Amino acid sequence: MNKTLEKISLIFIDFLTINLAWIFYYYFRVESGLFEMVIKPSYFLPMLVIYFYWAFLFFAVGMYRLWFANSRFEEISKLFKTTFIGVFVLFSLIFFDDIGRPGVTNTRYLILIYWGILTFAVSLGRLFFRALQRYLLIAGYGRRNVLIIGFNKKSKELLKSIIRNRPLGLDVVGFIAVEDKNIGKSYNTVNVLSNLDGIEEQIKLNNIKEIIISIEETNHDELIKVISRCDSLGVVIKVVPDIYQMLTGQVRSASVYGIPLIEVNPKLLSDFERKIKRLMDILISLFLLIFSSPIILLTAIAIKLESKGPIIYKQERVGLKGKKFTIFKFRSMVQDAEKNTGAIWASKIDSRITKVGNFIRKVRIDEIPQMYNVLKGEMSLVGPRPERPIFVEQFAKEIPFYKRRLLVKPGLTGWAQVKHKYDEDIEDVKNKLNYDLFYIENISVRMDLKILFRTIFVVILGKGHFEK
């Protein structure tokens, strides 16, 4: 089945099983007869509220991410942990509401009864759906055409594993050779279709949905070339684990029917998670702008009193998918700081930084005006820090994968900012890129909240600029 149908089916299955669990729980909790069910109007509204509560939690923890032959044990394990935590939040509200109401038993074991029924019902529904999905894949429905990049012992073993495991839903159309001498060869009736130069044509010609990279560890240049060419073609890219160490921190891994594959640049956020992230950006940035208004006023006065020049400093930066925008900051340097030098980094001891500027940089007050960029949608609260166009082009030439930072909106703070110091040289940029790519491939609402909380401690402790 296609991705949209898969997601709708999962939501429908959970809708049925979550509400079924509520019906059984309501029966055991309120009704006295063993086989008697009394339908009450007051019962439907709580049932809908409870359903949307669980649906929100399931979305938040990623239980509606699209399936790639995930272990059913892992899926049920995640369900177990989510319901275990969620049920205590739910019952703290329910017990508070039950206080003083006659005829309602405030016995703590009711928590375990509902949790058990819910977990069993939802698990059963998902196992049934996965079994049906597996059956359909074996029968030939919803299968995906695949290219294997590389023609070597490892890629041949991979082909045999895919053929043996038909529930994967993968049909290998052909090999793409790294070396021209292998063009025209075949293995197990699967042909080598072309070299790397013909990969885009083969993807379009054969309706390829996924490519699996199975090349030697020494062929780093070919790996980079493949990823660069296929990033914009809408195909899923996976690599075999021998190349994992080279991409540490840049991928999300999964074990598939005994075949370990690593997905490069999976779909980063679901539509729901993206909306939640945007809502968080708007609400938190508005709150911070209002809360910090006295600080904004005092900072503006201090900047104006100390040195000539505008209070707000504007600069062009590169955002999502390479789109340029104007960033706003409190001015922390003397006016026309780069007039004679051009674009250069701030150093640890920089005579261009004013006394006020040094302080507001240390506690990050200089970043407050960027809340306006967040409200406009040019930035997010959390993401890789935006860089100037001249530096983006320079780093892209020197550092592989640098432009992958542009796959998400730039942020006011980020994983690199709470884990590493400010950039002083190219080595700092390389080190921080690992943190940025780790964030991109593991992006989630939970990850954003974690980074926001850690940023608070960074600001309180006065770290984040030149401290380690």
DSSP states along 281-310: HHHHHHHHHHHTHHHHHHHHHHHHHHSSS-
What is the pLDDT averaged over residues 262-267? 63
DSSP state of 71: -
Split at pLDDT 50, 70, 90, the class of 174 is very high
The reported pLDDT for the residue numbered 278 is 92
Split at pLDDT 50, 70, 90, the class of 96 is low
- d(CA 280, CA 383) in angstroms, rounded, equals 13
Secondary structure class of 350 (helix, strand, coil) = coil
- d(CA 87, CA 232) in angstroms, rounded, equals 42
Phi, psi of 245 (to 5 degrees): -60, -30
Give how far Cα 88 sits from Cα of 38, 103, 355, Å.
27, 22, 51
- d(CA 439, CA 39) in angstroms, rounded, equals 49
The reported pLDDT for the residue numbered 36 is 45
Cα 72 to chain centroid distance, Å, stands at 22
The reported pLDDT for the residue numbered 273 is 80
Beta bridge partners of 312: 330
426 vs 468: which has the higher pLDDT: 426
pLDDT tens-digit map of 212-226: 888 776 555 666 667
Cβ-proximal residues to 189 (8 Å cutoff; 6+ apart), any chain: none
Cβ-proximal residues to 242 (8 Å cutoff; 6+ apart), any chain: 154, 217
- d(CA 372, CA 364) in angstroms, rounded, equals 15
The domain 144-264 having CATH identifier 3.40.50.720: the answer here is: yes
Helix ranges restricted to H, 292-425: 293-306, 355-362, 371-376, 389-398, 415-419
Among residues 418, 360, 361, which one has the least CA distance to residue 384? Answer: 418
67 vs 200: which has the higher pLDDT: 200
Secondary structure class of 264 (helix, strand, coil) = strand
Split at pLDDT 50, 70, 90, the class of 374 is very high
- Cβ–Cβ < 8 Å for 380, 412: yes
Cβ-proximal residues to 151 (8 Å cutoff; 6+ apart), any chain: 175, 177, 178, 179, 182, 185, 187, 192
The reported pLDDT for the residue numbered 279 is 92
The CATH 3.40.50.720 portion of the chain extends over 144-264
Instruction: Please provide the average confidence, as pLDDT, over all residues in the chain.
Output: 78
What is the pLDDT averaged over residues 191-211? 88
DSSP state of 67: P
The reported pLDDT for the residue numbered 466 is 37
The reported pLDDT for the residue numbered 69 is 52
- Checking if the pLDDT of 119 tops 70, the result is yes
Q: Residues for the chain: how many in total?
A: 468
pTM value? 0.56
Query: Among positive and negative, which fits the CA dihedral 32, 37, 39, 43?
Result: positive
Task: Please give the order of strands across the beta sheet that includes 259-264.
Answer: 186-187, 190-195, 170-177, 144-149, 208-213, 236-239, 259-264, 251-256
Return the amino acid letter for 406.
L
Percent of the chain at pLDDT > 90 equals 16
- Cβ–Cβ < 8 Å for 76, 17: no
Among residues 265, 263, 245, 264, which one has the least CA distance to residue 255? Answer: 263
- Checking if the pLDDT of 281 tops 90, the result is yes
- d(CA 308, CA 245) in angstroms, rounded, equals 51
- Checking if the pLDDT of 425 tops 80, the result is no
Tokens of 259: 């075949």
Percent of the chain at pLDDT > 70 equals 75
- d(CA 125, CA 202) in angstroms, rounded, equals 39
Beta bridge partners of 264: 237, 251
- Checking if the pLDDT of 97 tops 90, the result is no
